[in-house]
Amino acid sequence: MAATLREILPQFRQVDWLEQTGSTNADLLALARRDGGPPDRPWLLGTHLQSQGRGRAGRTWQNRIGANLMFSCAFDVFLPARQLPTLAPLIGMATCQALRTRLDARHRTRLTMKWPNDLLWDQAKLAGILIESTRSGTAQAADHHLIIIGMGLNLEDARALSQSLDRRIADWAEIAAEDSAAAHATAADLAACAARAWYDALNHATARGFADLPARYAEVDGLAGRMLDVLDDGRLRHTGAACGIDGDGRLLLRNADGVQAISVGEISVRLQR
């Protein structure tokens, strides 16, 4: 896997793929916090098995060898700290748009995203993305941050996961069964597609900002017009209809009080039943 990715991702200075590790995000964060930090960035680190994989809010990521695509990338990013939360919907949008190119045109709109950055196939979760930031030992300026982006994408096992989690889960095998383009995409293709999209999206944001994010997000928005409950630590905080995001990447929710802007954080969004 590593050799293949090195060939098709020349913009990445280091690519490694492990048989097993605790968490690829945690590995890259630990390297970043050492004196000097890892010099070879962008750095892609993947694994066939994670024993301590994490999602948003510390949720665990269930996996077995061959059933999941799991990798993380470390990037140097020069942005004000206040803009870092905007990276969550930016990266989710960029990943969704990129993976749509691996589908037949007639099926592309079935792949959407749930704010801030889950990927959905027919409204069932296909992949989760975790974004973390730190200051490395080689920080060059006040706005120099090391961003770690990790993704876990279901390749198989959706049926078993759906039963164990009591909610619908999707996997790439399900998509490939009815989409000829998806059937030809290898795990390396999918990893390279996402990693390249992250690289390009971060460069675009650094150079041009986030002015076009709401319009681009609208193209892949899987929540638009749907009634949502917004929970904070399990407590209902807002309800309303999703109506896109603003330029800061905040979810916009319309209800009787007007339009509420919901920030990325320890908040979860749940579709009303």
pLDDT in tens, 180-193: 999 999 999 999 99
Q: Pairing state of beta strands 43-47 and 14-18?
A: parallel
Same domain membership, residue 88 and residue 206: yes
Do 231 and 130 sit in the same domain of this protein? no
Q: Please tell me whether residues 82 and 199 are part of one structural domain.
A: yes
| Number of domains, the chain | 2
Q: What is the pLDDT of residue 104?
A: 99
Q: Is the pLDDT of residue 240 over 80?
A: yes
pLDDT at 79: 96
Whether residues 133 and 252 fall in one domain: no
194 and 258, same structural domain? Answer: no
Percentage of the chain lying above the pLDDT 90 cut: 77
Q: Are residues 66 and 192 in the same domain?
A: yes
Q: State the average pLDDT for the chain.
A: 91
When pLDDT is cut at 50, 70 and 90, the band that residue 138 belongs to is low
- Looking at the structure, tell me whether residues 248 and 170 fall in a common domain: no
| Whether residue 234 is found in the same domain as residue 261 | yes
Give the global pTM. 0.93
Looking up residue 231, the CATH number of its domain turns out to be 2.30.30.100
In this prediction, residue 35 carries a pLDDT of 58
Instruction: Please tell me whether residues 127 and 240 are part of one structural domain.
Output: no
The pLDDT value recorded for residue 66 is: 87
- CB burial readout 136-174, b (16+ within 10 A) else e: beeeeeeeebbbbbbbbbbbebbeebbeeeeeebbbbbb
57-71, 114-128, 160-174, 198-212: segment of lowest average pLDDT: 57-71
Domain containing 234 equals: 227-271
Residues 169 and 231 in one domain: no
Predicted confidence (pLDDT) at residue 56 exceeds the cutoff of 60: no
